[in-house]
Amino acid sequence: MPKVPLARQAQRFSSYPAVVRAGAISVGIGFLILGAKFVAWRVTGATVLLADAAESIVNVIAAVMVTYSVAVASRPADEDHPYGHGKAEPLSAAVEGALIVIAAMVIVVEAIRHLIAGPELQQLGTGIALAGVAGLGNLGLGFYLMRVGRQEESEAIQADGVHLLTDVVTTAGGIAALVAVQLTGIQLLDPLFALVVAANILVTGWRVVRRALRGLLDEADFPFLAEIAQHLERERPPDWIEIHEMRARRSGAFHHIDLHLTVPRYRSIEQAHQTGDELEKTLLAFVSTGGGAVVHMDPCQPRHCVGCAMADCPVRSEALKERFEFDLESLTKPGTI
């Protein structure tokens, strides 16, 4: 059965300028926030603010990568990329996660160095004020990117939003450390707080990488497959006798589904083809974000009679006992003819 025309996959294209615009905004605001954090570090000499500035450098680099990746991912499928360009997004998210981990390691090194040499802090009030403004900027930008990423189903934009919200935690930790230093006079609190912040960043970086790898490796999305099974169970006509070997992969915002459909063996090729087309339309209507569906047709066998609800079947060898139920387990199991 022919694949769904590539033109169907272009339906989502018109919404992607919102994602590209979000990435461009992230780059522009990221540079401003980086400047504020760099000034705060230079004024105070605080390790936690150096760590905060270092993470903002990663933010800006990651924002540039994200903007490029979502621009690439927004392109519709073509002859060279029949599944679209959506893999650019999880790839960008994986690189961003790796950059987060690297930034955390840099913070650890600097914190240890300051623990050994001893910090020399100054003008903490000015540094706290600048860091606070930068943190509020990242907070607003992070929530904005998360909202756009969820609406447009963009892994890269969501990863960038998560990164920025993590940066807010870094900034808050830095401010808390400097306030504690002001209240107690214990300057070693600065590098100690930096180590705690670095540990939090490491955890977040790993989560971003893990999520991106799921997309790159086409890890099975069982909740999504279960939703498809439930939808097909509700919509099925009698001639959808059995479905097996159902798989789904995601490429950016697009979903691609393939499965085997068992149909009555006494039907003509034209009739079987029409049945498969109806199933494809049902799948594509369910996956509203766009994509493709491929249905492989299998003829029914005598063993299917006990679960087949076709009326007036001329080749039935056994009476119907209980119609085959469409659920996650039955639809994803290997099939045998």
Return d(Cα 252, Cα 228) in angstroms, integer.
19
> Lowest mean pLDDT: which of 58-72, 235-249, 269-283?
58-72
Residue the block writes with tokens 């509700």: 234
Pick from 6-20, 80-94, 219-233, 301-315 the range whose average pLDDT is largest.
Answer: 301-315
* DSSP H/E element including 266: none
Whether the pLDDT of residue 26 is over 60: the answer is yes
What residue type is 258 in one-letter code? D
3-state helix, strand, coil in the chain (%, to 5): 65, 10, 25
Query: In 3-state terms, what secondary structure has residue 291?
Result: strand
- Using CB atoms within 10 A of its CB, is residue 245 exposed (0-12), middle (13-18) or buried (19+)? middle
Q: What is the mean pLDDT of residues 263-277?
A: 91
Nearest to 82 by CA among 239, 248, 291: 291
- Cβ proximity of 135 and 49 under 8 Å: no
Domains 6-216 and 222-332 share a fold: no
Quickly count: other Cβ atoms within 10 Å of residue 255's Cβ: 24
Whole-number percent of the chain with pLDDT over 90: 12
Nearest to 233 by CA among 152, 175, 169, 309: 309
Whether the pLDDT of residue 80 is over 90: the answer is no
pLDDT band at 84 (very low <50, low <70, confident <90, very high): low
Query: In 3-state terms, what secondary structure has residue 267?
Result: coil
Helices 222-235 and 269-286: crossing angle, nearest 10°? 120
> Lowest mean pLDDT: which of 46-55, 84-93, 182-191, 267-276?
84-93
Quickly count: other Cβ atoms within 10 Å of residue 199's Cβ: 12
Q: How would DSSP label each residue in 178-246? A: HHHHHHH--TTHHHHHHHHHHHHHHHHHHHHHHHHHHHHTT---HHHHHHHHHHHHHH--TT--EEEEE
Pick from 91-105, 269-283, 285-299 the range whose average pLDDT is largest.
Answer: 269-283
Q: Give the pLDDT of residue 73.
A: 62
Q: Give the pLDDT of residue 86.
A: 63
Q: Give the pLDDT of residue 306.
A: 92
Model confidence pLDDT, tens digit, residues 171-206? 887 888 888 888 888 888 888 887 887 887 788 778
Nearest to 28 by CA among 60, 71, 58: 60
Listed by start position, the domains of the chain span 6-216, 222-332
- For the beta sheet containing 242-251, the strands, ordered from the edge strand earlier in sequence to the opposite edge, are 242-251, 254-263, 291-299
Q: Give the pLDDT of residue 140.
A: 92
Model confidence pLDDT, tens digit, residues 278-302? 998 888 888 766 677 889 999 999 9
Return d(Cα 218, Cα 198) in angstroms, integer.
30
Fold for 6-216, please state it: Alpha-lytic protease prodomain-like (1.20.1510)
Whole-number percent of the chain with pLDDT over 70: 83
Supply the CATH classification number for the domain 222-332.
Answer: 3.30.70.1350
Nearest to 275 by CA among 247, 305, 241: 241
Nearest to 138 by CA among 14, 34, 284: 34
Report which of residues 127 and 47 the model is more confident about: 127
> Lowest mean pLDDT: which of 94-98, 174-178, 230-234?
94-98
Helices 155-184 and 17-44: crossing angle, nearest 10°? 20
Report which of residues 272 and 69 the model is more confident about: 272
Model confidence pLDDT, tens digit, residues 205-218? 787 777 777 766 66
